[in-house]
Structure 1
Amino acid sequence: MNRKRVGIVIFDDVEVLDFCGPYEVFSVTRINSEKRREEPSPFEVILVAEQDQPIVTTGGMRVLPDTTYATCPPLDILLVPGGWGTRKEMHNPALLHFVNAQAAQVETLTSVCTGALVLGNAGLLDGLRATTHWRSLDWMQELFPNVTVDSVSQVVEQGYVLTSAGISAGIDMAFMVVKKYWGEDVARATARHMEYPYPESTVRRVPLAAKE
C-alpha cells in the first residue's frame, strides 16, 4: 500500500473540530473495512506546529504536535484548519513560508473554515473559487478581491486545492480527499463507520438565509 502522508497544521486557538474532524476521517479510513483491526489506514496523519511544544486550542484542549515546520517530513496532503487563531496566524511569516513551500510540493492542498484566509494571504487562492465559514465570507472577499468567494458550496475543489466551509465542513472535505485517492466505495465505508452522513453533494448545509 502506498500510504499518503497528511500534514495538519495546528496553532494556538485552532478550532478543535477543524483539525480533529479530518484527522478522524483520515485515521479511520480502511481500504478493506472488514480488516479494520488488522490493516492500517492508507493515510499517515501528522500534526505540524511552529514549535515543538503544546498548543492550546479554542476551548482549552492542549495538543502535542508530531513535528515542526522545520523538521516536517515530505507531505502528500497539507491541511490548514481555521479558528480564532487564524486572525494572528494568517500574518505569521513562518506559517506562510511553510504553507507556500508545501504548496509547491504536495499533491493536495486543503483548508477548513478560516484556514482559507491563511491560503489567501499566502497568495495560493488568487484566480480560484474558494469558501470559508459563513461569518467570514464577506471578510474574505474584502481581503482577497482576486478570489471568487463561493457562498453556496460546502466544499470547493479547484484543481489540487480544496477549501471548505466552517468547522464540521472539514469532515465533508476529508471524505472528498478519501474519494480522490481511494474511490467512493472506500469513502462511503469510512462515513458509515463514523456513523456520519456521506455528503451526496457539495451544497452548503447551512444556507446563508439561516445565518444570525
Structure 2
Amino acid sequence: MLVFDEVEVLDLGGPFEVFSTAGRLARTADDEPLLRVLTIAATDHPVRCRGGLKVAADHTLDEDPPFDVLVIPGGVTAAVEADADVIDWLARRRKTSVLTFSVCTGAFLLASTGALDGRPAATHWEDQDELARRWPNIQVRTDVRWLDDGDIVTSAGISAGIDASLHIVSRLFGERLARRTATQMEYTWAAGRTTEAGPPGGP
C-alpha cells in the first residue's frame, strides 16, 4: 500500500483492515498469515494523513519490496502526481503486480502512469468530472462503487474501498473468506452489488 502526505485515512485504513483481518483468519501451512500488508512511502519520513494522523511506512521506494497486489489509496494527490519518482515506481510495479487496486483519487495516480488509458475506472463522485476532463480517454464510470477490470480494480471513495477490498479477497481466496472477514469486521457487505457512486440526489 502506497502512503503519502494527505492520504485519506479510510482509503488507507479500510483496505488495510480488510486484508490484514483476512490474513489473521486464514493461515498458510506454516501457520503464517495468508495475507501480509506492507506500507511504502517515497522517503523514511513519517507521513501525515488528512486530519493529522501520522503513519510510519514499512518501506521506502528505494527498498522496493516484493509484493503481489499494489494498493493506491486516494486523498490530496496533486503533490504525488508531480513526483516523477513515485509515478515511475507505480508504472513499473503495476506491471509486475498480479493486481493493482486504486481507491478514490488513487485513480488519478494510476491514470498518471497511463495504466487507465482506454479503460473504465471508478473514483469518488466529487472527482469524476476532473478525472474525465484530465484523461478524456478513460471511461469514467459514475454508476458503480467499484469496478473490476481484470488486472486493475478501481473504487469510489472511502467506504467503497472496503467493498472493493472484500471483492478482491473473494476473487483471490474465495467468497467464504471474504464473508468471514466482513463478519469479523461487523461490516455489511453486498457481494457483487453495484450501486451509485454518488450520494443520494447527487453532489
Which range, TM-score by smaller chain? over 0.9
Secondary structure of 1:109's aligned partner = strand
Given that 1:55 and 1:62 are in contact with CA atoms closer than 8 Å, whether structure 2 keeps it comes out as yes
Secondary structure of 2:118's aligned partner = coil
1:103 is aligned to 94
RMSD: 1.8
1:24 is aligned to 17
Q: Matched residues in 1 for 2:190 and 2:79: separation?
A: 32
Question: Could you tell me how far 1:31 is from its partner in structure 2?
Answer: 8.0
Size of the aligned set, in residue pairs, is: 201
1:10 is aligned to 3
Q: Deviations over 1:61-106 (max 9, x none)?
A: 010000011102111000000012x122122101101101101100
Given that 2:124 and 2:198 are in contact with CA atoms closer than 8 Å, whether structure 1 keeps it comes out as no
Specify the code of the residue in structure 1 equivalent to 2:175: E
Q: Matched residues in 2 for 1:205 and 1:27: separation?
A: 28
Q: Deviations over 1:16-64 (max 9, x none)?
A: 000110000000115856x8xxx54311101100001101000000100
Q: Matched residues in 2 for 1:63 and 1:14: separation?
A: 10
Structure having the larger proportion of residues in strand: 1
Given that 1:131 and 1:150 are in contact with CA atoms closer than 8 Å, whether structure 2 keeps it comes out as yes
The ranges of structure 1 where at least 4 consecutive aligned residues each deviate by more than 2 angstroms after the TM superposition are 30-33, 199-202, 204-212
Q: Matched residues in 2 for 1:52 and 1:156: separation?
A: 33
2:59 is aligned to 67
Given that 1:175 and 1:187 are in contact with CA atoms closer than 8 Å, whether structure 2 keeps it comes out as yes
The answer to whether 1:47 aligns with 2:39 is yes
Q: Which runs of 5+ in 1 are unaligned?
A: 1-7
Question: Could you tell me how far 1:211 is from its partner in structure 2?
Answer: 2.8
CA spacing shift, 1:143–1:206, aligned 2, 3 Å: closer
The answer to whether 1:203 aligns with 2:194 is yes
Specify the code of the residue in structure 1 equivalent to 2:6: D
Identity percentage over the alignment?
Answer: 35
CA spacing shift, 1:31–1:81, aligned 2, 3 Å: closer
CA spacing shift, 1:40–1:197, aligned 2, 3 Å: farther
1:3 is aligned to none
CA spacing shift, 1:211–1:23, aligned 2, 3 Å: same
Q: Deviations over 1:3-24 (max 9, x none)?
A: xxxxx00000000000110000
Q: Which runs of 5+ in 2 are unaligned?
A: none
| Pairing of 1:51-200 with structure 2 (within 5 A) | 51-84=43-76, 86-200=77-191
Q: Deviations over 1:115-151 (max 9, x none)?
A: 0000001100011100100000010000111110000
Q: Matched residues in 1 for 2:87 and 2:25: separation?
A: 37
Specify the code of the residue in structure 1 equivalent to 2:61: Y
